[in-house]
Chain A
Amino acid sequence: MTSNILIYIEINDSKIETVSKEIISKIRSSFNDIKLCGAVIADENTISNVQEELSKLPLDCVYIINDNIFDEFQVCLYSKALYDLIKEVKPDIFLMGATPDGRELAPRTASKLEIGLTADCTGLDIDNDGKLLATRPTYGGKLMATITSKTKPGFATIRPHSFKMMNVPNGNPMIEYKSYDISGIACLTEILNCFQKTVSEDWSCAEIIISGGLGLKTKENFQRIYKLADLINAKPAASRAAVELGWAPASIQVGQTGKSVSPKLYIAFGISGAMQHLVGISSSDKIIAVNTDRNAPIMKACDIAIVADAQNVLESLISNLS
């Protein structure tokens, strides 16, 4: 049976969000017999900026809801538009990226539709009846739960970088413009000013990540993570424990809600591997772990486990590469 899947394609600064493309590539590369469509909400100008990219996405169709009222993200307006679209096109499954906007838009839309929603998933599957099975970390990342819903469409938000971008050939989706009545919606807020943060800690383009944890013992030793990352042009990262001790800023912590990474190579120094962390790094191509404890959880969840003192190995690497 063909399953109809609708993906909300989020656009920021006239660019399609990576996670939207990750979801498309995951569906296209994992499942057959799917009718896959995208939904875009934006103002005219933004639409004309992304039109060409939209027209090549490997989708069967793209619904475009354009109106200049959508020039900034207002959750009340966007959720009303999605509500109307879903009522009209009746997908079996509806997916969206668990971006900051997505994490607001999805529950508001689900609440309007009176349907179930699984937040922040790191895995998804479709059962024999075409139902969505969404898997997410819960209990502070200590447990994974696979969740389905009694209501239709099955609805989930997907955590960025949970899926590798696969090579999927371009498509030629049918573009369909939609327009819905959004007058009379009063629950708007006023954005007085907006400050975009720097993307220096953007994990999405990191090929190699050098990460440190408690096994490095001191803040001074942790500095070597930065040193090594710098030497080989990699991104530094930290475990929750290292962040809590003040060795590294929270902005480079891997594994908390929303912070998954998918580099080609992830090297963990002195990280024992709390489940939240292991989930956060699970879509890395290759994982090397250096730890004195051969029984640490990460030593069973990596490709190369080196039983050694992380500090010494780091030091040796730095002197070798300097």
Chain B
Amino acid sequence: MTFKIVVCLKQVPDTNDIKWTENNTIQREGLDSIINPYDIGALYFAKEFKRTISERNIDVEITAVTMGPNQSEEILRKAISFGCDRAYLLCDKKFSGSDTLATAYTLSQFIKIYVPDFKLILCGQQAIDGDTAQTPSSMAEKLSIAQITNVVELFEANEVYSVWEKDTGVKKETIKSGYPLLVAAAITPEPLSPRINDYIRSQNAIIPVLNAQDINANLSCIGFSGSPTIVKKAFRHSSDRNVALYENLPPTEAASLIIDEINKCRNKNDI
């Protein structure tokens, strides 16, 4: 029996390269799109997992999926060049405006219909444009499966269970789970280097484009109408502090000024 893995990807703007318009909105034209760096981590684990359990003579099939505009096909070809066996693009005007809840629903609908016998879902821990880290957990709930988030390492994999390292920054845990399982990768490795065969395959692959009907989506659960959250306003952070500006202070005087403040702060605590 084939062991089926689904890798969920997101195309994101390169947030290191954001330019602002005069009205404090993000200038979208010319903004580079990249695979969300954490999703590279998910692809890396998919490859590692496949390598590990292939040694046990088990067939593995990795399906990559993304929801996005037509241009997102580009990241799916990259995913194939990194070793995924096939890819699907979920693309429909009706999907636009999806928040994390609607996204989790849409992806889980796809998985239920196209890879119903999946064993493992891999996602990035979070996307660098939103940083919410909600979609993986939300999706695991929609599929009623176990989840391990903040994963930094794969320790052991076989057809019955796998063992992963979770690192939240506060604690490290070694976690074992059977299947089906969702794993959210918290690593951002360098983009993987494709093998020549995979690269050729990626350029010739036919990537099916699925719409809302294809995944049997309930229209009230997708896109704007399926997204409960509303962005009321967006603005740049501003500070309401009254700044005392000191220019042309020699370093020694600047140091005295700072020491005074340190002492003030300490004295306040003594009282």
Interface residues of A (CB under 8 A from B): 75-76, 79, 99-100, 103-108, 110-112, 114-120, 133, 137-151, 187-197, 207-208, 232, 251, 257-258, 264-265, 267, 275, 278-279, 282, 285-288, 290, 294, 299-309, 312-313, 315-317, 320-321
Find chain A residues with CB under 8 A from B100 CB.
Answer: 107, 117, 119
Find chain B residues with CB under 8 A from A118 CB.
Answer: 229
Shortest distance in angstroms between B253's beta carbon and chain A's nearest beta carbon?
9
Partner among A100, A144, A207 whose Cβ is within 8 Å of the Cβ of B236: A144
Q: Is A148 within 8 A of B257, CB to CB?
A: no
Find chain B residues with CB under 8 A from A301 CB.
Answer: 237-239, 241
Contacts A117-B134, A286-B261 given; does A140 touch B128 at CB 8 Å = yes
In angstroms, Cα B176 to Cα A191, docked, is: 6
Find chain B residues with CB under 8 A from A190 CB.
Answer: 175-177
Contacts A143-B235, A147-B232 given; does A307 touch B247 at CB 8 Å = yes
Contacts A111-B137, A139-B18 given; does A302 touch B241 at CB 8 Å = yes
In angstroms, Cα B247 to Cα A188, docked, is: 60
Q: Is A115 within 8 A of B228, CB to CB?
A: yes
The residue on A at minimum CB distance from B14 is A140
Contacts beyond the supplied A140-B15, A150-B228: 11 A-B pairs with Cβ under 8 Å: A137-B237, A146-B233, A192-B176, A194-B171, A207-B265, A299-B245, A301-B239, A313-B255, A317-B255, A317-B258, A320-B259
Find chain A residues with CB under 8 A from B262 CB.
Answer: 208, 232, 265
Partner among A105, A119, A285, A304 whose Cβ is within 8 Å of the Cβ of B244: A304
Bitwise, B69-90 to A at CB < 8 A (1) or not (0) is 0000000000000000000000
**Interface flag for B132 (CB, 8 Å):** yes
**Interface flag for B215 (CB, 8 Å):** no
Shortest distance in angstroms between B201's beta carbon and chain A's nearest beta carbon?
33
Partner among A191, A300, A316 whose Cβ is within 8 Å of the Cβ of B243: A300
In angstroms, Cα B258 to Cα A208, docked, is: 12
Q: Is A309 within 8 A of B251, CB to CB?
A: yes
The residue on A at minimum CB distance from B248 is A307
**Interface flag for B61 (CB, 8 Å):** no
**Interface flag for B231 (CB, 8 Å):** yes
Instruction: Please classify how large the interface on chain B is, using the bins under 10, 10 to 19, 20 to 34, 35 or more.
Output: 35 or more
Q: Is B268 within 8 A of A189, CB to CB?
A: no
Q: Is A117 within 8 A of B101, CB to CB?
A: yes
Q: Is A133 within 8 A of B232, CB to CB?
A: yes
**Interface flag for B230 (CB, 8 Å):** yes
Find chain A residues with CB under 8 A from B261 CB.
Answer: 265, 267, 286, 288, 304
Bitwise, B116-135 to A at CB < 8 A (1) or not (0) is 00000000001011111111
In angstroms, Cα B99 to Cα A149, docked, is: 11
In angstroms, Cα B234 to Cα A275, docked, is: 14
Contacts A111-B138, A143-B26, A187-B146 given; does A303 touch B258 at CB 8 Å = no
24 pairs across A/B with beta carbons < 8 Å?
Answer: A106-B134, A106-B137, A107-B135, A108-B140, A108-B147, A117-B134, A119-B100, A119-B134, A120-B132, A138-B129, A140-B128, A140-B129, A144-B234, A187-B146, A191-B175, A207-B269, A275-B236, A278-B239, A287-B241, A290-B258, A305-B243, A307-B246, A307-B249, A320-B255
The residue on A at minimum CB distance from B25 is A143
**Interface flag for B30 (CB, 8 Å):** no
Q: Is B236 within 8 A of A145, CB to CB?
A: no
Find chain A residues with CB under 8 A from B113 CB.
Answer: none
The 6 closest A-B pairs by CB, nearest first: A116-B228, A140-B15, A100-B168, A301-B239, A111-B141, A107-B134
